[in-house]
Each structure stands twice: as C-alpha cells, then as structure tokens.
C-alpha cells in the first residue's frame, strides 16, 4: 500500500468509525508504530487535519464533527457517499458490459473504492449483491476492436474495418470516420461517416470483425447533421424522418406506455375513453414493427397505412405458424 493510499485509509477509518484505537490502524494498514506516527504528523502538519487522541474513548478522532470532509489529499479523492455512488455506477455499468469492453480498464480504480468502503456498513460487495441488472439481448463484442474504436474516437482518426452485416449476411471492408459510440438496448453501436457509401451509417460494434487505425484525420460531422440523421429516425436506424407513426394503446397498456420514451421527439395524449395516442416521426420501420408486435392486441396502428399493412401482414404470418 502506497503512502497516499495509507493517508486516505486513515482518514476514512476515522470518518466511518468516529474514534479508532491505534492498534486498529497498525493491524489493518500493516504498518509499524513509527510509520503510523509519521503518517499522523503528515496529516496534521501538511493537510491541517485536526486529528486528536481521545483518552476517554481510547482512540484517534477528528477534533470537530465532519472535519474529515474538509481535508484534501493528493490524487483522486472521494467522500464515502461519492465512493458509494461510484461503486453503484461501476456495478450497473459492468452489468451492461457483457462483452467485458470497459470493466478491465476501471478495475484498478475499483480496488481503491473497495478499500475506501471496506470499513463502512455499505461495502461495495454488499451493494453489488443487492442490485441486479438483467440484459435480455446483449451480444458479445471484441475487446480489442472496442479499444481501437475508442482510440480512433479520441484521436479523431479514421478506421479501416472489416464489417459483417447480419441484415444482408455480407462482409465488407471499408474506411470510416467514427463520430460517437452509442449504447442502445444492451448493445454498442458506432455512428460513423462511411467512406465506402459516402454517407452516415450506424455500425453494430459486435459486427466489427477487425479494426485498425489509418493515421488519417477523421471527417468531423456537425452535431446538427448527426442529430438530423440519427435522432429524427426511429431506434438505431439512420436517415431523416420521412413518415409519422400514430399508435393507439388500450387503457390498460397505457399505464406503462405513457411513461415510456419511444422517440426523442414523440408526442402523447389520452383520449376521452382512456386510450393513449402516441405519435412520432420515423424513416425505416423494421425495429418499429417489432416493437408494435410486442404489444399484441393492446395496440393499433392508426397511421400511416403502409405501417398498418406491414403489421397486419406480420400478424397473418405469425398466425399461419400455429
């Protein structure tokens, strides 16, 4: 354990327990009395920590309540609440990170957080045990390719990728200018300008089979153009919106759907019979059709006619299987 880690630990032990016997410091930090004395002097002299020895309680404490919160030490510094929030964030992130894309990179930080929370009633292990996140459709991605993509985004360089499209069942090689990473429905996607197709595309990261930096400067697309191309459409599909969907949900299903966000620019209202009318713009409809079918008889497509027909045809195909 480094000196900085020891100083952090001494501060947290006093913050959490209020009064700590000297022997507890020696045992848990695995240090000699002389080292503890030096650390204590450093905290008092350099960090202005008002740590005193309380003879009546038989241990060290801060002279004033909450004094420990005002001490600033070198390096990363978190209060117990901040450390708890970080532990929760890491656990939620790791639950979504099924491919192990991010976890290995933040693991060293979590060992420090575990040490900070080690003496608290809300230990990080207890927090992780009490929170469960289930990903229903996550797909595993390559750690190496994810790192290359992340590097290209930060360096603003083009990538040469080998990409497999599940939709067309084809593998192509192309050069792209990465714009941003998107975590959507338990999977990672890369919004990028494709120099093969000469247009903005969204690539599933698990479809990127190889990725290599090209040392060429990436083309930067404005936020306005990215918004028009991706945010106006429905789901992960790109392109400017060309149609407007109008859906009517039953009063029972409306209890859930009225609180959901299907589209960033959606509008919704209840009619006089308790049905929920949801409207939004879209371009391509494969994902939209699937989401509508999930609700079965509890939803009706009011417009456009083309979308209504597609849903009807899919329902007929499904019935024919039984």
Contacts of 265 (CB under 8 A, 6+ apart): 231, 232, 280, 281
Instruction: Give the pLDDT of residue 3.
Output: 80
Q: Domain holding 183: CATH number?
A: 2.30.30
Look-up: residue for tokens 């929030």?
85
Please give the pLDDT value at position 121. 46
* Whole-number average pLDDT of the chain: 84
The sheet carrying 267-270 orders its strands as: 267-270, 276-282, 243-249, 299-303
| Residue ranges for the chain with pLDDT beneath 70 | 65-84, 86, 90-138, 140-144, 232, 234, 236-238
Question: What tokens were used for 94?
Answer: 């790791």
Same-domain status, 26 and 59: yes
Q: How far apart are CA 307 and CA 289, in angstroms?
A: 8
Name residues whose C-beta falls within 8 Å of residue 282's C-beta, 6 or more positions apart in sequence: 233, 234, 237, 241, 242, 243, 244, 245, 263, 288
Q: Is residue 259 part of a domain?
A: yes
pLDDT score, position 284: 87
Cα separation, 123 vs 105, in Å, equals 21
**In this predicted structure, what is the pLDDT of residue 109?**
61
Inside any domain, residue 44: yes
Residue 177 lies in a domain: yes
| Separation between Cα atoms, residue 10 and residue 27, nearest integer Å | 12
For residue 136, being part of any structural domain is answered with no
For residues 299 and 256, what is the distance between their CA atoms, to the nearest angstrom? 12
Which structure tokens are listed for 163?
A: 């990409």
Query: In 3-state terms, what secondary structure has residue 53?
Result: strand
Per-residue pLDDT of 137-176, as tens digits, reads: 667 666 668 888 988 998 999 999 999 999 899 999 999 9
User: Helix and strand tally (H, E) in the chain?
Assistant: 11, 11
45-82 CB burial, b ≥16 within 10 A, e <16: eebebebeeeeeeebbbbeeeebbeebebeeeebebee
The Cα-based distances of 184 to 148, 180, 202 in angstroms read 20, 12, 12
Both 220 and 161 in one domain: the answer is: yes
Domain termination residue (choose one: 24, 44, 70) = 70
Q: What is the CATH number of the domain that holds 55?
A: 1.10.10
CA distance 113 to 29: 16
Question: Using CA atoms, how far apart are residues 185 and 201, in angstroms rounded to an integer?
Answer: 18
Q: Which of 185, 201, 231 is the C-terminal boundary of a domain?
A: 231
Number of domains forming the structure of the chain: 4
Structural domain range at position 51: 3-70
Same structural domain, 256 and 206:
no
Single residue among 231, 254, 276 that ends a domain in this structure: 231
């Amino acid at each position: 354990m480094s000196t900085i880690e020891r100083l952090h630990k001494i501060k947290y032990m006093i913050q959490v327990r209020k009064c700590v016997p000297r022997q507890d410091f020696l045992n848990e930090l695995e240090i000699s009395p002389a080292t503890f004395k030096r650390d204590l002097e450093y905290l008092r002299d350099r960090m202005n920590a008002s740590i005193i020895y309380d003879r009546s309680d038989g241990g060290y404490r801060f002279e004033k309540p909450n004094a420990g919160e005002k001490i600033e030490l070198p390096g990363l510094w978190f209060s117990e609440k901040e450390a708890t929030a970080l532990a929760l964030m890491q656990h939620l992130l790791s639950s979504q990170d099924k491919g192990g894309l991010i976890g290995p990179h933040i693991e060293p930080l979590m060992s420090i957080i575990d040490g900070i929370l080690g003496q608290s009633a809300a230990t990080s292990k207890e927090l992780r045990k009490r929170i469960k996140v289930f990903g229903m459709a996550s797909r595993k991605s390559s750690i190496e390719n994810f790192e290359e993509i992340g590097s290209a985004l930060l360096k603003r360089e083009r990538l040469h990728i080998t990409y497999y499209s599940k939709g067309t069942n084809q593998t192509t090689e192309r050069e792209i200018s990465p714009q941003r990473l998107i975590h959507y429905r338990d999977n990672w996607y890369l919004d990028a300008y494709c120099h093969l197709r000469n247009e903005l595309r969204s690539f599933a990261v698990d479809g990127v089979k190889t990725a290599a930096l090209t040392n060429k400067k990436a083309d930067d697309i404005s936020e306005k153009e990215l918004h028009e191309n991706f945010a106006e459409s429905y789901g992960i599909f790109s392109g400017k919106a060309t149609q407007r969907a109008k859906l009517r949900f039953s009063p029972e299903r409306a209890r859930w759907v009225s609180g959901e966000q299907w589209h960033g620019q959606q509008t919704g209202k209840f009619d006089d019979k308790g049905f929920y009318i949801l409207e939004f713009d879209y371009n391509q409809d494969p994902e939209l059709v699937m989401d509508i079918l999930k609700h079965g008889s509890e939803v009706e497509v009011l417009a456009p006619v083309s979308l209504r027909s597609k849903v009807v045809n899919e329902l007929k195909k499904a019935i024919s299987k039984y």
